[in-house]
Amino acid sequence: MTVSTASVRPAAVAGMFYPETAAVLTGDLRRFLDQSSVECSSPPPKALIVPHAGYIYSGSTAAAVYAPLAGRRDTIRRVVLLGPSHRVAIDGLALPSVSGFATPLGVVPLDQETMATLLALPQVTISDAAHALEHSLEVQLPFLQTVLAQFTLVPLVVGRVMPIQVAAVLDRLWGGDETLIVVSSDLSHYLSYAEAIEIDRLTARQIVSLLPRVEHQQACGATPINGLLLAAEKHRLRPRLIGLCNSGDTSGDKRRVVGYGAFTFTAEDENVAHVH
């Protein structure tokens, strides 16, 4: 699929959150994915929660849920990607007006037909400003470009909105096996190492228990997480904790850390998940 470069959002955080050259980026992604020991689940996940820090901090945690998608490489043709707004205050959920998102690995085309239908919902708007410098969505794209074949993207930056309104958007986009939902969120921010472990374990318990009461001090993407939890319960998905760590584990600095969690959501006949 080709997309006019005139309507493409360029990579904003290449060279900061992940390498800016395709060769180095590909090598880093391959290393993260090859080191992931998580086996493919059956049935495969319908939705993921994935961290969005720099790859040196959270890349290994993200890879734990992305690596198993290789088994669905040719099945998943659309990714619905939600992440919190870090730079621009917005109401509702914001789509961009462009037709593609670029990374050093190429351009991901947007599902413009589906995006147009979302504008019928009052909580969905268009804001290129919200997307221009937002890293929470961008950092997921190189992983998706590596583990999937051709796919289109529905990118949504989430601002001030009720979780039930996020769930309504997900219901509209739910689809079948061809659609994967990805919520991009880190967990606690700038706590001590011991405090972060305690808070992040609590957050993980809430998520695997489908309790849509995650607070913003627990996760920067609390609103899309809570929206996903509402939708997951409605659609009878079961969450599973795949990985939990923080920047103290990956950088060594344990004074003020950021927490990272990776979760999958699969059909309800999966084994019950526990936080150990």
* pLDDT average, residue stretch 195-209: 98
pLDDT band at 273 (very low <50, low <70, confident <90, very high): very low
* pLDDT average, residue stretch 195-220: 97
* pLDDT average, residue stretch 93-112: 98
CA distance 55 to 138: 12
Position 30 scores a pLDDT of 96
Domains and CATH numbers, the chain: 5-181+200-267 (3.40.830.10)
Position 1 scores a pLDDT of 43
Residue 127 has pLDDT above 80, yes or no: yes
Residue 103 has pLDDT above 70, yes or no: yes
Of all residues in the chain, the percent with pLDDT exceeding 70 is 93
pLDDT tens-digit readout, 129-144: 999 999 999 999 999 9
pTM above 0.75, yes or no: yes
Task: Look over the chain and give the mean of its residue pLDDT values, rounded to a whole number.
Answer: 93
pLDDT tens-digit readout, 75-96: 999 999 999 999 899 999 999 9
